Every structure is written in C-alpha cells, then in structure tokens.
Amino acid sequence: MTTMISATAANDIFQRRESQVRSYCRSFPAIFAGARGPWLIDEDGREYLDFLCVAGAANYGHNDPPIKAAVVEYLATDGPIASLDLHTSAKQAFLRSFENRILAPRGLDHRVQFTGPTGTNAVEAALKLARKVTGRSTILAFTNGYHGMSLGALAATGNALARSGAGIPLGYTSFAAFDGYGGRDDSLADLVRRLDDPSSGLDLPAAAIVETVQGEGGCNAASWDWLRGLAEILRQRGILLIIDDVQAGCGRTGTFFSFEPAGITPDFIVLSKSIGGLGLPMSLLLMRPELDLWQPGEHNGTFRGNNLAFVAAQAALEHYWRDGAFAAGVQARGDIVRARLERIAARYPSLAYTGRGLLAGLRCQDPSRAAAISRAAWGLQLIIERCGPRDEVVKTMPPLNIPISALHDGLDRLERAIAAV
C-alpha cells in the first residue's frame, strides 16, 4: 500500500503536466532511472526484464558497453554533435562501415539518404521520392501495415485509431490484403486481378510499401514466396517496392535486412529504430542509385546529422556485423522463443504463435486475455507489450544479444503470467 501511494505521488507531475497522448507509461507505470542490457531499473532499484526494447530501438540492449564506450569517447573529443548534412568524420566512418559491413557483402549498391530522425520521416521520404520518380500519386499499402504517424505514412497505415488522429481525409493510398489476411491465401492473385483489370478502380500505384513482418499489425510474417511473388508483380508493372524495415530490420528477424532470405532487391529500404545503435535517433532511406532524383534540399530536416548516432551505429556495425555470428545468435534465440511459445500454445488452445525471429508473439483469441497477460507480466517485473488490430498479440521483443538465461527467465515469467490469467 505504501509503495502504491508513493508511486502515485511520484507520478503526479506526469499526470498533471504530460499530455493525454502518452501510452506505454500507462501500462508500465514505474519511473525508470537505470538501464543495462535487457534490464530497466526503477527509482526504487527494482529490476524489470525488458521485452519491449524501446519498440525495437534498443536491439543491442540498454547501454551496450562497446557502443556506449564509443559514444563516451566521442563526447570527450568535442566532436560535432549536430551537423545538418555537413560532412563529418563520424558520418564518414559510419558510411564506410555501412558500406563494408552491410551493403557490399549483400551486393546492394543503394544510395543512403539521412532523413529526419524518426521512422515516419524516412517513410515520408520514400513515398515522396517514389511519387516524384514515377509521376504517379497512389501508394499501395497492406492490411494491418504500420508506417508511422505523419500524414503520408499514416495514409498507408491500417489502424483505425491511428488514422482517426489525422483530422483530415487520408488519401492517395489503396490497400491490398497482406499475406494470409482473413485466413486466405489468394491475396497476390487478387492483387494481380485488380491491377490488370482496367475497371477495378485501382489506379496504377507509384510504389507498394510493405513490412516483411508487421510489427505493430500483429507480428504477421509474410512468407518468402509471397514476398518474391509481390516483388515480381510490382517489377512487371513498373511499381516501385518499398520495404519498411523500421521494425523488422537491423537484425530483429535474424538477418540484417529482414527480406534477405526472400532474395529480393527492394527499390527503397527504410531503416530506423536501432540503426542508431544505442537508441539514438537516426533514420535512413536506401534507394537504388537511378532513383536518387532528389534536388538538393528537397527533403530537408535539421536533425539529419546526429553524430552521436553515427558513432553508436558505426560501433554497433563493427562490433556485431563483421561476420555471421551475431545473426546466428539472433536466429538461435528466435528458435528458443518459437519453441517455448509453441509449447505454451499447445497447452492453451486459444493462443497461437505468430511472427519471425525475435519479432514474435502469442495471438490470443480474446484481446482482453492479452491485456491481462501483459498486466500480470508487469506484476512479475516483465515488460511485454501488445500489438495487432485489437491489441490481441502479446509481443516478445527482447534485445538481440540477450543472455540465454535472461531470455528463459523472461519466457518463464511470461508463462507464469499466462497461467495466472
């Protein structure tokens, strides 16, 4: 009781002063003062296992020592912190590492655009450039897709609550069924029919924007065949392919880019969240070189030069992506999560595994069950969020380098939470 009263009093300034728009803090109402690896620590020293990881912006865990050391060292040198799009040593080093560790080994010759530091701004850049390059206005998006909260990205987002915040009609977007939507497997055939029928009402889109695993939309994973099929349908019709890898990329599903196993080459790739290494804001739009038709300054932004993020990102690439060992570790952890969640689902028939790698979860037939599980997990000091159209999926997003014992610890807590509800 004493703890509850003091927590309420301590939270008072947030309730009085912070906008109603706040959301995560309502589910996890502690005041966090420390963060190390997979742990968040509140002001009273209580430790919580973090299976939310800043929605994927802390893929290497909190304050990962080699990344933090690089940032601390850089701060001590009085290097530039913010630099618009000026050339800096930190940016040069990042670009070299990104080329050497990520792009060249994968045979990608994409150019790199540093956008404003949010995922949604990089999505906006992709949509704008696709429209400019093709001269067409419509974007093809997919059911349950999530691309951000600014108006262009929001127009390509399915979620009704998010869309209702726009306050104006969200246009120039058509929606098609994502792989498996509604339990059906004919989404690509339907798309082809509508694209090729001059009377279907579907304008030829400039681009299609798609996630390989829909992170907010319910951990829905597209099959490799579906992605290959989609890429081919688009290629044949001159429609550009934008892979939104903001959440599924940077290793989360077991490879640096989530689409790698499909063997496709997107025209545009959007990266954000943990590309900045330590949770520092940074977003990128990668584009095939011939699509780089921007005029200088045509998609500008003050905070495109976050040098601390460049330093952290470079440290992360050099530390974790020099060879395949880190990705293999993510895949092994993903296998553990899958095996354990499937075992739980076998015991509780109203639950089902969904997702890929470390972007996976349990779909609950009853959304209120998912809410109760997340609440019970919080009581066990496990931070675990929900996603999906009705928040019906309990979503596991641990750090990619979480020690195996901590991973099992978190999954044990989740299992106890499920048993409790």
Ligand X SMILES: Cc1ncc(COP(=O)(O)O)c(C=O)c1O
Q: With CA atoms as reference, report the closest residue to 393 among 420, 374, 409.
A: 374
Residue (90 or 123) nearer to ligand X, CB? 123
Q: How far is the C-alpha of 25 from the C-alpha of 30, rounded, in Å?
A: 8
Q: With CA atoms as reference, report the closest residue to 399 among 295, 320, 286.
A: 320
- Separation in Å, CA 421 to CA 53, 145, 148, 345: 24, 30, 32, 14
Between residue 38 and residue 67, which ones bind ligand X under the rule CB under 6 A?
A: 55
The angle at the Cα of 86, spanning 77 to 312, to the nearest 5 degrees, equals 50
User: Judged by CB under 6 A, does residue 143 bind ligand X?
Assistant: no
Per CB under 6 A, which region of 29-37, 85-93, 145-153, 404-412 contacts ligand X?
A: 145-153
What burial class does residue 80 get, using C-beta atoms within 10 Å of its C-beta: 0-12 exposed, 13-18 middle, 19+ buried? middle
| One of 195, 246, 312, 407 touching ligand X (CB under 6 A) | 246
- Report yes or no: 283 and 116 within 8 Å, Cβ to Cβ: yes
| One of 42, 50, 124, 211 touching ligand X (CB under 6 A) | 211
User: Judged by CB under 6 A, does residue 216 bind ligand X?
Assistant: yes
| One of 88, 97, 113, 118 touching ligand X (CB under 6 A) | 118
Per CB under 6 A, which region of 112-120, 161-169, 219-227, 323-331 contacts ligand X?
A: 112-120
User: Judged by CB under 6 A, does residue 280 bind ligand X?
Assistant: no
How many positions of this chain bind ligand X (CB under 6 A)?
15
- Which residue's C-beta sits nearest to ligand X? 119
Reduce the DSSP state of residue 75 to 3 states and report it: helix
Per CB under 6 A, which region of 98-106, 142-150, 334-342, 380-388 contacts ligand X?
A: 142-150
| One of 59, 120, 173, 274 touching ligand X (CB under 6 A) | 120
Residue 247 Cβ vs ligand X, minimum distance, rounded to whole Å:
3
* Order of strands across the sheet that contains 39-42: 32-36, 39-42, 47-50, 382-383
How many other CB atoms sit within 10 Å of the CB of residue 73? 12
Q: Which x/- pattern, by CB under 6 A, does the window 250-279 give for ligand X?
A: ----------------------x-------
Per CB under 6 A, which region of 28-36, 71-79, 208-216, 235-243 contacts ligand X?
A: 208-216
Residue (42 or 211) nearer to ligand X, CB? 211
Residue 323 Cβ vs ligand X, minimum distance, rounded to whole Å:
27
Residue (125 or 376) nearer to ligand X, CB? 125
What burial class does residue 228 get, using C-beta atoms within 10 Å of its C-beta: 0-12 exposed, 13-18 middle, 19+ buried? middle
* Structure tokens given for 104: 């060249």
Residue 215 Cβ vs ligand X, minimum distance, rounded to whole Å:
4
Q: How far is the C-alpha of 105 from the C-alpha of 102, rounded, in Å?
A: 6
| One of 88, 212, 247, 374 touching ligand X (CB under 6 A) | 247
DSSP codes of every residue in 173-230: EEEEPPTTGGG-S-HHHHHHHHHH-TTSS-PPPSEEEE-SEETTTTSEEPPHHHHHHH
Residues found near ligand X in the complex (CB under 6 A): 55, 118-120, 123, 146-148, 211, 215-216, 244, 246-247, 272
